[in-house]
Amino acid sequence: MFRVFFLLWNRRRALHNGSVKVKALIFFLLLLWFATSGFLFFELPGKPDLGWLDALWWAIVTMATVGYGDLFPVTSAGRYIVGVPTMVLGIGFLGYLISEIAGSLLESRSKRQRGMLDIHSHNHVIIINFNHVDTALKLVREIKHDKATQRKSICWIDETLTELPQELQDQDVMFVRGDPTREEVLRKANLPAASHVIVLVKDPSDCHSDDHNLVTTLVIERLNPSIFSVVEVINAQKIHQVEMAGANSVICATELTSSLMVQELSDPGVKDIVMDLTSDLGGSQIYFLPIQTMERWDYAELVQWGLGHHATVIGLIHEGHKQLNCPAATAIQPGDQAVVIASDRLESIDTVNPR
C-alpha cells in the first residue's frame, strides 16, 4: 500500500503541467485510497467483519471532519499512521475545496454581471442598447406584466455598460456586453433561439444612431429571419429603410410625440388615454385577437361579442391592413384579427363556442 503511494508521489512531476483542478482531484483520490486501504490494513485483523465499504465510509467521514464515531481505529498504527494524516490532509483539502467553489461562484457572478457569459435561454426576449436605468426598468416590467411575454427570459445587449445595473439584476435580466452589429455578440446572446428583439436608439442626440440600428437590424434578420423585431429610430425618414432591412415594426418616438402634442392641444387629456392604452402595468390595453369562429361573420357580431366579454372592439386587421370604426355590415374573413381594448389579454374570439 505505502509502496504504491510513494511511487505515485515520486512521479508527481509528471503532473507539473496539469491544471490545478486535475492535481487536486488526483490528490483527493490518492488520499481517499490511502485512508481506505490503510484503515482496512491495520484494523482488519482485530475486526474481521470490516469491509471495503466500511473503510471507505470511515475515510469520507474523517476527511469531512464529521466524526460520527460508528467506526474508528483502535490500533496505534491505524490511529497515527492513517488516522492523523487523513484528518490533517482532509481538513486542508476541505478548505481548498470550499475556497474553490466559492471562488468559482464569485467569478461566475462577476462574469454574468459584466456580460461575459454565453446565454443559453430559448424563446427569450433580447433588448439592444441601454440609455437610462429607469427607462430600462419600466420596459422590463412591461414585458413581464404582459401575458404574451411574462414567462420569457430577458437578455440585454450593450457595448457601453461595464456592468448590468443592480435594478435589472434584481429583475433576473441577463446581460451580454458587446457591439450588437457584430455577429459573435448576437450569437453570444443566443439570438438564433430568441423569439423577440427590441432595438432601442443608442443615443437620441446622435444623428448616426439610426444608421447603427439599421446595421443591427440587418445582422439580426440574417441570423434569425423568423424573429419578431421592433426597432426604434429618431428620424422618420429612416423608417422605410429599417423596414426594408427586415424589421417587423419600426417606431419613431419623435413622430409619435409630435402627433400626441398636437392632439393634446385640441383634446386635453388624450395623453392620459394613450398612456393607459400603451402600458401593461394597469388600466386597459390594445390587443390584436385572432378570430376562430363566428355565427354571422360580420362586424356587428364582433362588437356584440366584445360587449359580453368586457372588451371594446374598435377595428379589424385584414391581410395586414388595419381598419378602425368599421361599418356594422363589414364582412369578416377567416384569418382576420380583431382590434380590441380590454383590461387583460384574451386568447381568441369564438362566438360559436363561447367560453
The pLDDT of residue 74 is above 80? yes
DSSP structural state of residue 79: I
* Section 141-154 average pLDDT: 89
Out of 3.40.50.2000, 1.10.510.10, 1.10.287.70, 3.30.70.940, select the CATH number for domain 2-113.
1.10.287.70
Hey, CA dihedral for 298, 320, 199, 112, is it positive or negative?
positive
Query: For position 279, what pLDDT does the model report?
Result: 78
Tell me the per-residue pLDDT of 29-73, one tens digit each, with 9 for 90 and over.
888 899 999 999 999 888 888 899 999 999 988 888 787 888 889
Residue 15 confidence class, pLDDT cut points 50, 70, 90 = very low
Question: Which option is the CATH number for 125-257: 2.40.50.140, 1.10.10.60, 3.40.50.720, 3.40.50.2000?
Answer: 3.40.50.720
Question: What does R_g of the chain's alpha carbons equal in angstroms?
Answer: 33
Query: What would the pLDDT profile of 207-238 be if each residue is shown by its tens digit?
Result: 889 999 999 999 999 999 999 999 999 998 99
Q: pLDDT value at position 2?
A: 47
**Cα–Cα distances in Å, from 53 out to 39, 48, 61, 215, 235?**
11, 14, 12, 64, 75
Neighbouring CB atoms inside 10 A of 283's CB total 14
Grid cell digits, residue 229: 423585431
Q: What is the pLDDT of residues 106-147, one digit of tens each?
A: 777 788 878 888 999 999 999 999 989 999 999 999 899 888
Q: What is the third-level CATH fold of 284-355?
A: Alpha-Beta Plaits (3.30.70)
Structure confidence at residue 226 (pLDDT): 96
Question: Which residues, 6+ apart, have CB-to-CB distance to 46 below 8 Å?
Answer: 74, 75
